[in-house]
Copies of this chain bind each other. A is one copy, B any other.
Amino acid sequence: MSHTRDKLMAAAISLSLARGYEETTADAIAEAAGVARRTFFRYFRAKEDAVLPDHDDCLRRVRDLLDKVDPGAPPLAAIKRAAHMVLALYAQDPVTAVRRYDLLRRVESLREREITTTGRYQRVFADHLHRAEAGGDAGARLRHDVTAAAVVAAHNHVLRQWIRDKAKGDVHARLDAALVSVEALMRGWPGETTAHEDALFVMVARPGTPAWRVVQALKDAELVRA
């Protein structure tokens, strides 16, 4: 991330907040940042790119990360690292993150572009899970899609709450905590059988169920030893 790029982005957001996004031109942004107009276009294709994080670059890095991951490692671990990579786009500059959020609340087209980007990350995450656990049944593919959606929802939730708290505190730690919940949750995906030695099983029952019924059900499923 270059210093000039950061200065241009800060100027683009400040001017858009002060004058309105539509009214803010690339010329005015360049002038406010003390650079030439052509310098602006060396960093950004359009004004829109100057107020939003560089998701194209981040998507490339996310794909790179997922392509290079050890095929033996749990696929969700790589997705979690990728989610932190996206979060870093915001966390590395909390002041800009808060101001950008203000701007997005005012400009629908920018909000829509962020939603589109969110969908793109979600697709990349789901595709990684499909590839990593290829050969699964239809239920597995549904689980992959739901997992990707849950990770992205947790990321967006944490990011939004952090920004509403004026970007105070360690947002990466918050994402860790949220992803622990998501990971525990997804272990409970129903209807799939696993034959692994280190697998977990999940039992759902109503509180107050007699103990013998629980034990019987577990024994029937050959899940506990007597």
- The verdict on A208 contacting chain B, using a C-beta distance below 8 Å, is yes
Contact A198 B206 (CB under 8 A): yes
Which of B184, B190, B199, B211 is close to A184, meaning CB atoms less than 8 Å apart? B190
A166-204 to B contact mask, C-beta < 8 Å, 1/0: 000000000000101110111111110000001111111
Chain B nearest CB from A128 CB (Å) reads: 15
A125-142 to B contact mask, C-beta < 8 Å, 1/0: 000000000000011011
Which of B143, B153, B204, B209 is close to A224, meaning CB atoms less than 8 Å apart? B209
Q: Which of A5-13, A21-29, A96-104, A215-223 touches B?
A: A215-223
Contact A211 B188 (CB under 8 A): no
Contacts known (A115-B119, A116-B115, A119-B118); A208 close to B185, Cβ less than 8 A: no
Q: Which residue of B lies closest to A203 (CB)?
A: B203
Q: How far apart are the CA atoms of A191 and B139 in the complex, in Å?
A: 26
Q: How far apart are the CA atoms of A67 and B16 in the complex, in Å?
A: 36
Contacts known (A142-B178, A190-B185, A211-B225); A202 close to B199, Cβ less than 8 A: no
Contact B181 A185 (CB under 8 A): no
Which of B118, B153, B201 is close to A207, meaning CB atoms less than 8 Å apart? B201
Q: How far apart are the CA atoms of A141 and B205 in the complex, in Å?
A: 24
Chain B nearest CB from A145 CB (Å) reads: 4
Chain B residues with CB under 8 A of A219: 211
Q: Which residue of B lies closest to A141 (CB)?
A: B157
Chain B nearest CB from A46 CB (Å) reads: 15
Contact A157 B185 (CB under 8 A): no
Contacts known (A116-B115, A198-B206, A206-B198); A153 close to B157, Cβ less than 8 A: no
7 A-B pairs with C-beta separation under 8 A: A142-B158, A142-B181, A185-B185, A188-B204, A201-B205, A211-B219, A214-B218
